[in-house]
Amino acid sequence: MADIKLNSPLQYIKGVGPRRAEVLARYGMREVRDLLFYFPRHYLDRTSVVPIAKLKQDQSATIIGTVRAHGVLHGKRRRYEVILEDDTGAISLIWFQGVRYWERIFEKNQIYAATGTVSYFMGHQMIHPDLERLEEDTDRMIHAGRIIPVYPQTSELNKVGLNSKGMRRLTTFVFENLSEHLPDYLPPAERHSVGLFGLNDAIRKVHYPEHRDEIERSRRRLAYDELLEFQYLVFRNMSHKDTTVKSHSYEKPAKRLSEFLDSLPFRLTDGQKEVSREIFTDLRAQHPMSRLLQGDVGCGKTVVAILAALYAAENGLQSAFMAPTEILAEQHYRVWKKALSDAGVRVGLLTSSLKSADKKKTAGLCEKGEIDLLFGTHALIYDYVSFRNLGLVIIDEQHRFGVEQRGKLYDKGDNPDLLVMTATPIPRTLALTLYGDLDISTIKDMPAGRKPIRTVWRAKDARDKVYKFVLDDVDRGGQTYIVYPLIEKSDQMNLESVEDACKELSRGALKSCRVGMVHGRIKAAERDKILQQFREGELDVLLATTVIEVGLDNPNATTMIVEHAERFGLAQLHQLRGRIGRGEKQATLIAIAHPPVSEIGHQRLKYFVSTTDGFKIAEADLELRGPGEIFGIRQSGLPELRIARLVQDQDLIEASRGLLIKLFKPYSELDVDYQTLYKYLEKRASRRDIQLGGG
Ligand code: ADP
Ligand code: MG
């Protein structure tokens, strides 16, 4: 069948058949059109391939060579090694895992393209590179200057012969026999003003570019479309806060405020004052506030939220303050209880691990309006919790909550004001894109006297020195966190665990220190006790999992060691780092990497040690991970951004938003082109069920 249409089922394309069709369907590909939108992961061409002799350490590169030797090596760790050779030299490719598998894969004289980071150990090597097996002819294509696409590979696809090469065969055949064009919904004038390819060109060239720069041009067109659709969904689902009028009002002045501020052990920074003013203005306004308060870890967002709650209480309104972990909710409660009570604010705490009698009691008080400010975790959203007069909802570390959870708490009031806080700051254009109509306040400064945290990256073998550093620091009166990725050893993963380390260290290297341990499986009461001891200086070293990641506040902690730092995300590392350097002493973070470190792990660590600026970290994190995980987009029903890069594509975000604004007028006033686009976007949007935050 030569005549292929966009909606032809893939199953009937030559060389596919039912078995492959079934696997393709699992990746969302049923019709030819779907296949066209399955994009290559990267490309191979002569200009992107580095001669082996020219490789440098830490460089990430693609090489092409012939297998000269391969086999298992038994050393300190068993590994599989392949010697790959090109005209200029040879390099080792190393795998620590899957030795059996690789044994079966490699044969002498096969040609491979390998992509990875170059490291040095008795010669250049690549650990766990990405591999693409090439035939003689593809190798020749590359040397003739052709650019060939490399498609994402999974073992499922490989099993039915749809590895990168198989996919290439399929897409080539489809493009050769496709008898239809993809309809392009973008008005030509818009396309030209941004200098974008037409859709057909973009699709063809993203698979088979003739020149390298066509890859980026295609990507930009496809990214534009994605951003357009994404923002359409956000705009379409915006809440209509401007037409909503609150049922509560702030008539009383904040009388107890200055007294309260005087009772604090510090003065507010200019940044804190400025955002407090913005928030107070919002509270007094007629429409409900929905404001995002952003600021780097440790800049002091909590106190700002507390001031808002105090103001609410003075006006007879209740506030709910939701935090993502019990540790954090308890800490907020404990830290603020005294000062707030002195100011006449009645506070309460509600978390799941409280005794059920206590929970009932607190919920009862809250219902009767006898609690002004209720701190808590997700427990706050349960049905048995209700408020008499909820005027202010505060969400701490908002990205840790799903949209639905935020909404549930919000719905316990009658159009309450909403304040959400995050330590993952993002540029304004992005916030608009992601959150639609949230207003944004940013704290740009840090409390005086903070020193940037010294951050270093050490290999595992340097551990003895690291422990020595901890001992010296303890002698000087400092305290240390050591963070582990696991609670206990697991068979699947060869990682350090906090339980083993605790046994080992308290008998060994840290014998002379007072060592404690917290993790998610320790009972809440016990955990509290340990944290309390750590805070009060009765422990020198706290071994922990990432339960301590958010919010924990011990100004005397000066050192943090992160084991297996290569496994943590950038934002997560930055949050962890935020646990130290909260006082005036110089603090140090030591990130310990355990090989093998993947290419992305390497990039992350390099970036992490290079800056302590939360804004830069957030941007880099966006680049590396995409926004899906970071902002909980996934839970909202919005599509994943597969191609667009939120940081790099700012101009496309703005251009597509400009186009959207043109679309928001009466349909009949739109030109035909724009009507077509509108109808197209609306049709696609109506198939989705979106939930955005902010009530
Ligand atoms: P985050 O913005 O990360 O939530 P916190 O609100 O937990 O930060 O504040 C971090 C630490 O800084 C806390 O110990 C807090 O008491 C302290 N802090 C807050 N504001 C100031 C200030 N203006 N001056 C000095 N310390 C402050
Ligand atoms: Mg905080």
Residue 619 domain-assigned? Answer: no
41 band by pLDDT with thresholds 50, 70 and 90: confident
Q: What is the CATH number of the domain that holds 467?
A: 3.40.50.300
- pLDDT, tens digit, for every residue of 414-434? 999 999 998 877 666 666 666
Protein residues within 5 Å, CB atom, of ion ligand 2: 551
Helix (H, G, I), strand (E, B) or coil at 551: coil
Cα–Cα distance for residue pair 51/58, rounded to 1 Å: 15
User: Hey, what's the torsion of the CAs at 605, 611, 616, 618, to 10 degrees?
Assistant: 40
- pLDDT, tens digit, for every residue of 568-616? 988 889 989 999 988 888 999 999 998 888 778 888 899 999 999 888 8
Check if 297 has its Cβ closer than 6 Å to any atom of ligand 1: yes
Domain stop point among 416, 443, 470:
443
Cα–Cα distance for residue pair 337/545, rounded to 1 Å: 27
As given in the structure block, the two tokens for residue 362 are 């607190």
Spatial contact of 36 and 203, defined as CB atoms under 8 Å apart: yes
DSSP sequence for 579-647 = TS--SSS--EEEEEE-SSPPHHHHHHHHHHHH---HHHHHHHHHHHH-HHHHTTHHHHTPPP-SS--TT
Identify which of 90, 101, 97, 213 has the alpha carbon closest to the alpha carbon of residue 147: 213
Q: What is the CATH number of the domain that holds 69?
A: 2.40.50.140
Q: What is the mean pLDDT of residues 657-686?
A: 90
Spatial contact of 425 and 442, defined as CB atoms under 8 Å apart: yes
- 509 and 410 in a single domain? The answer is no
In this prediction, residue 24 carries a pLDDT of 96
As given in the structure block, the two tokens for residue 406 are 């935020």
In this prediction, residue 165 carries a pLDDT of 85
CA nearest ligand 1 atom 15, residue: 300
Q: Of ligand 1's atoms, which has the minimum distance to the CA of residue 449?
A: 25
Residue 8 domain-assigned? Answer: yes
- 158 and 78 in a single domain? The answer is no
Check if 303 has its Cβ closer than 6 Å to any atom of ligand 1: yes
Q: Which residues of 458-468 are buried (b: 16+ CB within 10 A; e: fewer)?
A: beeeeeeebbe
Ligand 2 center–CA 176 separation, angstroms: 57
DSSP sequence for 91-156 = EEEEESS-HHHHHHH--TT-EEEEEEEEEESSSEEEES-EEEEE-HHHHHHHHTT--EEE----HH
Check if 332 has its Cβ closer than 6 Å to any atom of ligand 1: no
Ligand 2 center–CA 426 separation, angstroms: 16
Residue 464 domain-assigned? Answer: yes
Domain count, the chain: 4
Under 8 Å CB-to-CB from 136, ≥6 apart: which residues? 111
Largest CA distance in the chain: 83
First to last CA, the chain: 53
Under 8 Å CB-to-CB from 75, ≥6 apart: which residues? none
pLDDT at 90 over 60: yes
Q: What is the mean pLDDT of residues 159-173?
A: 91
Cα–Cα distance for residue pair 612/450, rounded to 1 Å: 12
Q: Of ligand 1's atoms, which has the minimum distance to the CA of residue 267?
A: 23
pLDDT at 435 over 70: no
Cα–Cα distance for residue pair 290/406, rounded to 1 Å: 12
Q: What is the mean pLDDT of residues 529-552?
A: 88
Domain extent for 341 = 255-443
Cα–Cα distance for residue pair 256/343, rounded to 1 Å: 7
Ligand that lies nearest to the alpha carbon of residue 556, given by its number in the listed order: 1
Q: Of ligand 1's atoms, which has the minimum distance to the CA of residue 299?
A: 2
Task: Report which DSSP code applies to 187.
Answer: -
Q: What is the mean pLDDT of residues 111-131?
A: 88
Spatial contact of 151 and 167, defined as CB atoms under 8 Å apart: yes
Check if 275 has its Cβ closer than 6 Å to any atom of ligand 1: no
Identify which of 137, 113, 138 has the alpha carbon closest to the alpha carbon of residue 50: 113
Domain stop point among 180, 201, 225:
180
Higher local confidence (pLDDT), 370 or 98: 370
- 501 and 579 in a single domain? The answer is yes
Pairing mode, strands 111-120 and 130-134: antiparallel
Task: Report which DSSP code applies to 318.
Answer: E
> For residue 56, which amino acid is it?
K
pLDDT at 692 over 60: no
- 427 and 510 in a single domain? The answer is no
506 band by pLDDT with thresholds 50, 70 and 90: very high
User: Which residue's entry shows tokens 């506040």?
Assistant: 553
Helix (H, G, I), strand (E, B) or coil at 372: coil
Cα–Cα distance for residue pair 465/144, rounded to 1 Å: 53
pLDDT at 351 over 70: yes
Residue 249 domain-assigned? Answer: no
- 308 and 435 in a single domain? The answer is yes
Q: What is the mean pLDDT of residues 78-107?
A: 90
Identify which of 452, 435, 470 has the alpha carbon closest to the alpha carbon of residue 613: 452
Check if 295 has its Cβ closer than 6 Å to any atom of ligand 1: yes
Under 8 Å CB-to-CB from 101, ≥6 apart: which residues? none
- 114 and 19 in a single domain? The answer is no
CA nearest ligand 1 atom 19, residue: 300
Phi/psi at 124 (5° precision): -75, 145
Residue 387 domain-assigned? Answer: yes
CA nearest ligand 1 atom 14, residue: 553
In this prediction, residue 170 carries a pLDDT of 95
pTM, two decimal places: 0.71
User: Which residue's entry shows tokens 């005794």?
Assistant: 355
**Angle at alpha carbon of residue 628, lines to 622 and 633, rounded to 5°:** 130
Under 8 Å CB-to-CB from 414, ≥6 apart: which residues? 247, 248, 390
Higher local confidence (pLDDT), 231 or 311: 311
In this prediction, residue 695 carries a pLDDT of 36
Identify which of 181, 211, 212, 213 has the alpha carbon closest to the alpha carbon of residue 198: 181
pLDDT at 625 over 80: no
Residue 677 domain-assigned? Answer: no
Check if 447 has its Cβ closer than 6 Å to any atom of ligand 1: yes
In this prediction, residue 626 carries a pLDDT of 62
Residue 569 domain-assigned? Answer: yes
As given in the structure block, the two tokens for residue 619 are 């941007």
In this prediction, residue 451 carries a pLDDT of 86
- 311 and 459 in a single domain? The answer is no
Ligand 2 center–CA 279 separation, angstroms: 17
**What's the mean pLDDT when you consider all of the chain?**
89
Cα–Cα distance for residue pair 274/649, rounded to 1 Å: 31
Q: What is the mean pLDDT of residues 642-655?
A: 84
> For residue 239, which amino acid is it?
S
> For residue 571, which amino acid is it?
A
Q: Of ligand 1's atoms, which has the minimum distance to the CA of residue 553?
A: 14
pLDDT at 693 over 50: no
- 345 and 375 in a single domain? The answer is yes
Task: Find which of 26-35, 126-135, 678-687 is predicted with most confidence, using mean pLDDT.
Answer: 26-35
Q: Of ligand 1's atoms, which has the minimum distance to the CA of residue 443?
A: 2
Spatial contact of 314 and 250, defined as CB atoms under 8 Å apart: no
Helix (H, G, I), strand (E, B) or coil at 207: helix
User: Which residue's entry shows tokens 């010697």?
Assistant: 83
Helix (H, G, I), strand (E, B) or coil at 421: strand
- 339 and 464 in a single domain? The answer is no
Spatial contact of 471 and 559, defined as CB atoms under 8 Å apart: no
Residue 29 domain-assigned? Answer: yes
In this prediction, residue 694 carries a pLDDT of 39
Which helix (H) or strand (E) covers residue 676, if one does? helix 672-686
Check if 582 has its Cβ closer than 6 Å to any atom of ligand 1: yes
Check if 553 has its Cβ closer than 6 Å to any atom of ligand 1: yes
Ligand 2 center–CA 322 separation, angstroms: 11
Evaluated on CA atoms 504, 493, 424, 547, the torsion sign reads negative
- 50 and 124 in a single domain? The answer is yes
Ligand 1 center–CA 459 separation, angstroms: 33
Spatial contact of 550 and 395, defined as CB atoms under 8 Å apart: no
Check if 301 has its Cβ closer than 6 Å to any atom of ligand 1: yes
pLDDT at 440 over 90: no
**Which of 267, 294, 302 for mutating ligand 1's site (highest number of atoms within 8 Å of CB)?**
302
- pLDDT, tens digit, for every residue of 250-295? 988 888 999 999 999 999 999 999 999 999 999 999 999 989 999 9
Residue length of the chain: 695
Cα–Cα distance for residue pair 297/98, rounded to 1 Å: 40
- 438 and 320 in a single domain? The answer is yes
Q: What is the CATH number of the domain that holds 167?
A: 1.10.150
Q: Which residues pair with 324 in a beta bridge?
A: none
Higher local confidence (pLDDT), 320 or 163: 320
- 385 and 491 in a single domain? The answer is no
Domain stop point among 135, 150, 165:
150
CA nearest ligand 1 atom 9, residue: 300
